[in-house]
Structure 1
Amino acid sequence: MFKDFWGNPIVAGALWKMIETDRIPQTILLAGPEGVGKATLVRRFAAQLLGDAEKIEHDDLSREENRAIIADREKWPSEKRSEDPLLFASHPDFLTFPPDGPLRQISIQQMRQAKERAQMRPLKGKWRVFLIDQMDRANIQAADSLLKTLEEPPSHMILFVTAENPYDLPSTIRSRSVIFYLTPVAEEEMKAFAKAKQLKDAERRVSLAGGCPGLACSLDLAAYEKRRGVMLALIEAASGHTNFAAWAQKSESFLASKSEKLDYHFKPLYSLLEDLAILHGGGSHIRNRDLRETLQKIAGRITFDWLRQAVEQADLLVSLQRRNVQKGPSVDNYVVSLRGI
């Protein structure tokens, strides 16, 4: 079916069938973990429908030049970003709207731009394809603006929306979408993917990626392991495995650094909590295999209620970070509140 797409054959087959039969819903929501291939599948779909795959691939957000554009815009004042909403459109009939700014959000200005651009007729053929990537990072105003486009979409527009958790989107958007769930890719297929891409440190990447090919490719292992070390210290202190002083010492440089955003630490944190849940339940197949001994000790001293609250508090950290709350008090409160259980 779609060339160079790995995993989720049922979802890929359903989208392929839509093209074959020319029965394409106007709004499609792809849900699943970051890096599992949601945006990649949209680009493959658009390339099959519109042609000129090479141009469409230029909008891959993991490309170095696109990452540089996004990183540079984080330094812009908000007024400048509002005047020039972020979108990628290497192909005239395929547009990508990614999260923008230091808080990595979908803005209302981007959704207004999408609404205006949606009215333009296709340059070639009969379709225009829009991708709003990580729509779960949109604020209420941006979501409401998108809803106006969904209520009366032009007949030539196909809108793809991606989200890690579709229930972070308003029900009004979900109800107007055909939803597909992409699941992590099996380990054997991940190994085949890593071999085909000739990834360095393939075994390590496959283990840490948790079934997400995009994450396996994009991981900066040195930076990831440094951030994971900070989150491990957080969990050790929060579980009572070490004292608060050990956490304060470990977190000092992290909290002092303006470039080390809390957002970068959520993936390591959730992967550690996932491994703790597996070990606490008697399982053995974990992602952070080099930390097995330490995680096993922590799993032996915590309860299921502690795990549940640790995940809930992590979710709260995510929401606070998107509101630009200071990371120091947030993470310290995480430790203190969980130590009290």
Structure 2
Amino acid sequence: MKSLKVVLLGLPLFLCGVEAAAAAAPQVRTQAPGYYRMMLGKFEITALLDGTHTFPVNKVMLRNEAAADGTRRAVQLSDIHPGEAEALLAAERLSIPLEGAINAFLVNTGDRLVLIDSGAGSLYGDCCGHLIENLRASGYKPEQVDEIYLTHLHADHVGGVAPHGQAAFPNAVVRVNQKDVDYWLDPASEGKAPAFLKSMFEGDRASLKPYQGSGRLKPFKDGEQLSPGIRAIPTAGHTPGHTSYEVSSDGQRLLVWGDLVHVAPLQFRDPAITLTYDSDPFGAEAQRTAIFADAATTGTWIAAAHIAFPGIGHIVPSGTRFVWIPASYTTLLGKK
């Protein structure tokens, strides 16, 4: 028996009925399709990821500080509280530069398909502009979208309606607050704007032009009911016409709040932390504080543009601050 074992060990493996080990599989290095779905009453909500990009926290984050005379001004967070941003991010295993998400949300009411925000399109480079492919992966086509509601006209929210200046949604009407249209399409506003905002004006003109030319850009006023179950809620501060959208069905409520929060570990802890892109940092703080309190009290679902994908969750109070509770992954979406 011993000599037989020796002979067998000397034979090629395939003669022993054992296949040789395959070479190591190559790494794929691509992410899962960027969509997530939940039900809100009878409405279907689909979160869509446009991409992630680095966010220079130390350069853009401010804090509204009180001066000795009682006035307040927005000052660089890293100057007045050095190391605070790094410490708060590190507590959640994050670091600078922070990788931030760009999320949009698709609402199927059963009668209408509404896209809220559209991502950056071609305005942010290769990091982003993936909304259309993720829309298709989720089971929908761009031509099925009836309306697009924009929270505001910054590049990472409007650019996806017309990447490279070509309308991506052939049948959709674009809705946006009249105050943002008046500001971002006004050459006088562009002339007075700080240098880092100049490209936003150019991007807005290119993105909206195909819809303007075909009569499919239809601005609205504060507080309008845009469609059954979806109402525009004015939340100015980040931009002059920044708007959140209240989506309601069967007693359930979701607030798609646009850019009320950019860096969750900082701003849930301290709503007075703002950023250079806010047109009115004090107004932005006031809106953030009020909606944090309301959502924590009412249990309203939140859909956020810049919280880690899918950006859907709840807010709960924790002592003197607020905490973000992300939605649990679910496969129980009900029967059609």
TM-score by length of 2: 0.26
> Relative CO higher for 1 or 2, CA cutoff 8 Å, sep ≥ 6?
1
Q: Which structure has the bigger radius of gyration?
A: 2
Q: Which has the higher strand share?
A: 2
TM-score by length of 1: 0.26
Q: Which has the higher helix share?
A: 1
